[in-house]
Amino acid sequence: MNNLPAVQEYQDMLKAAALVFLERHRCEHLGDDQQLFDRTVQYLVADYDVLTQTAEKLVHLASSELSAVSNRQRLDIVSSTSTHTIIIDTATGNAWAIPVSLIYERILIAPDNGRFRVTAS
């Protein structure tokens, strides 16, 4: 009896779980991809009882998939204005106009943001 389709389906499900975890927690690790990788491996090991080596392989595959999707978005400098930043998804053609004030409020001066402070030189 050949269990290859069942094994592949199970691995695909684990990779999907890793991808969801990566997407959900990547903003917590903006400057440390390795920490996010390790945390995702530990998540698979603890919650799905997967061997560490298998979890590392699956997280690597999920990370590659996330990177491919994340790298599709581009800043449209030509269309952006002093008040709105335009982001384009090159694969779908979707575009988003994000107010600069929203970026300032939600990212730059957010209470939990200690990383991106502007300093006088």
Same structural domain, 35 and 61 = yes
pTM confidence score: 0.60
Q: The dihedral of CA 99, 67, 9, 48: what is its sign? A: negative
Give the per-residue pLDDT at 24: 92
90 and 66 in a common domain: no
Confirm whether 10 is domain-assigned: yes
Q: Report the number of distinct structural domains present in the chain.
A: 2
Torsion of CA 98, 100, 105, 110, to 10 degrees: 90
Task: Decide if 119 is inside a domain.
Answer: no
Question: Helical H runs in 1-121?
Answer: 4-25, 33-48, 52-70, 100-103
Would you place residue 28 in the very low, low, confident or very high pLDDT band (cuts 50, 70, 90)? confident
Count of Cβ atoms closer than 10 Å to residue 38 Cβ: 14
Tell me the residue range of the domain where 46 lies: 4-70
